[in-house]
Amino acid sequence: MNARAHGVNPWLVLVLVCFAQFMVILDATIVNVALPSIQADLGLSESSLQWIVNAYALLFGGFLLLGGRAGDLIGRKRVFLAGLVLFTAASFVCGIATGETMLIVSRGIQGLGAALVSPAALSIVTTTFREGPERTKALGVWAAIAVGGGAVGLVLGGFLVETLSWPWIFFVNIPVGIAAFFFSLRFVPESKDEHAHKSFDLAGATTVTAGLISLVYGIVRSAEAGWGSAEVLGFLALAVVLLVAFVIIESRSAEPLVRLSIFSVKTVRGANVAMLIVAAGLFAMFFFNTLYLQRVLGFSPLEAGFAFVPFTLGVIVGAGVSQKLVPALGAREVPLIGLALACLGLLSFLRLTPDSSYVTDLLPGILLTAVGMGLVFVPITLIATSGVPVDDAGLVSGLFNTSQQIGGALGLALLSTFASNKTADTLSSVGGTPTEAQQSQALVDGFHVAWLGSALLLGLGAVLLFALLRRRDVVAVAEGEAQPVAA
């Protein structure tokens, strides 16, 4: 239901849901700079430490589709509010955690809450704003929040750890979550698929959620156990079996969780495939640039966080420019330009050495990549969410968020493996105990492989976007005249 019909300013609705989305995105990165402090305080092993990050990603990626469809069926506002409660309560438990089990389990529950909040928030935005200039502006703000939140998380995390203590990276969510809940309860209008039956596709929900969790788990474990290990191969095989079973179930279900015919919509199919690949490259860029700053250039966590502030500003600039360029150049052409700029930015990192300067060597590439990605996210989100029935807003939002999370996990796991192997090869060629300088060079050699891989992934994303979408497929998106497609 449109916000204006309820006498509510749609821009107030946008502020509220973006506030919640910012909290969710923030939490995906804010914990990274606190890991050494958490490890020392709770006495965690290296293998346990990684699950503080992975538990969140695992349940977030695994339950996104379920969260998106639940919003369509039982109400997007209800699911959004339920996710806020779950996320905020889990944040409190994380902050008071006294051991690794308590912290890891509560981090997983945070991820589940995020999986309810994120697709519901995006579907609220797409049902609140009519297709055209208003929705383009709204999604420009959404894109800046989605990408910028990760960089701000690094700064805020470093500040809280250095000035207070690590539990405050979780406690900071509590007032934000409470405020977002009560204001959203008052001002966000309810909407759902009025034509859907109330039956729930339990078999489909079970197989797709278990399949995605198995896939993400296998990808995450590959970095430590290796791609050829029985554990990783077993979970990847299980994921294939479960996801094939899901497709079979959905094709026969009267009320499917994911109506497979939605993929016959070219804009949905093209945008999701492209985003899967683009996210694989972008997530890895964040990870390896943070490592380069701290482990090679010697930045503190807070300094490393501030080093990414220009990335946030660049994304905001790019997102703003894209709103003007989409009507003039086209919804497909603008992200192609953005991906080309981002590729150039990533390739510029190949010049970096252990003695490089942040300002003259790293910053130009960060800015180029940031502006490029700002040009990408608004039109890609428009393409993914335009021209589909309003009743499917939660479904397409869940699909789009899932593409980002699964793509990011896959890309990071792949490039981490390649980078680690290159670093190990460089060190083994040294002979004897490597010096500190040789260790730094080995790390940079590995990062070069990862940066090149990230650039190639973004280039592949551009090729797929060009191949899967024709200008005529998205011309209505650029003109704000996209009509719902019967799917």
Contact 415, 284 (CB under 8 A): yes
Q: Is the pLDDT of residue 305 over 70?
A: yes
Residue 344 has, within 13 A of its CA and on its CB side, a CA count of 10
Average pLDDT over residues 394-416: 76
Residue 95 has, within 13 A of its CA and on its CB side, a CA count of 19
Q: Is the pLDDT of residue 458 over 70?
A: yes
Question: What is the number of other CB atoms lying within 10 angstroms of the CB of residue 136?
Answer: 24
CA 363 and chain centroid, separation: 23
Which phi and psi (to 5°) does residue 153 adopt?
A: -60, -40
* pLDDT of 1: 46
Question: What is the number of other CB atoms lying within 10 angstroms of the CB of residue 237?
Answer: 12
DSSP state of 166: T
CA pair distance 406, 392, nearest whole angstrom: 21
Q: Is the pLDDT of residue 264 over 90?
A: no
Q: Is the pLDDT of residue 223 over 70?
A: no
Burial of 411 (C-beta count, 10 Å sphere; 0-12/13-18/19+) = buried
Alpha-carbon dihedral angle through residues 117, 122, 128, 134, given to the nearest 10 degrees: 140
Contact 234, 262 (CB under 8 A): no
* pLDDT of 367: 92
* pLDDT of 452: 93
Q: Is the pLDDT of residue 371 over 80?
A: yes
* pLDDT of 26: 75
Q: Is the pLDDT of residue 349 over 90?
A: yes
* pLDDT of 73: 75
For tokens 């985003």, name the residue.
275
Q: Is the pLDDT of residue 429 over 70?
A: yes
* pLDDT of 345: 93
Band the pLDDT of 473: cuts 50, 70, 90: low
For residue 341, what are its two tokens?
A: 């700029």
CA pair distance 309, 319, nearest whole angstrom: 16
Contact 393, 385 (CB under 8 A): yes
Residues contacting 43, CB < 8 A, separation 6+: none
Which amino acid belongs to residue 243? L
In the chain, where are the structural domains located?
1-130+154-198, 201-254, 264-487
* pLDDT of 268: 77
> CATH fold of 264-487, please?
Growth Hormone; Chain: A; (1.20.1250)
Residues contacting 1, CB < 8 A, separation 6+: 127, 189, 190, 191
* pLDDT of 486: 37
The rounded percent of the chain whose pLDDT value lies above 90 is 13
Band the pLDDT of 478: cuts 50, 70, 90: low
Architecture of the domain made up of 1-130+154-198: Up-down Bundle (1.20)
* pLDDT of 150: 65
Topology match between the domains 1-130+154-198 and 264-487: yes
Q: Which residue has the higher pLDDT, 194 or 369?
A: 369
pTM of the complete model: 0.75
Residues contacting 281, CB < 8 A, separation 6+: 346, 411, 453, 454, 455, 456, 457, 458, 461
* pLDDT of 131: 62
Contact 262, 392 (CB under 8 A): yes
Alpha helices in 167-265 (DSSP H): 168-171, 173-187, 202-225, 230-252
Average pLDDT over residues 5-13: 64
Contact 58, 84 (CB under 8 A): no
Band the pLDDT of 476: cuts 50, 70, 90: low
Our separate counts of H helices and E strands in the chain read: 18, 0
pLDDT tens per residue, range 128-185: 776 667 766 776 676 666 666 666 777 777 788 788 888 988 898 888 888 888 887 8
Nearest CA to 145 among 290, 19, 283, 326?
19
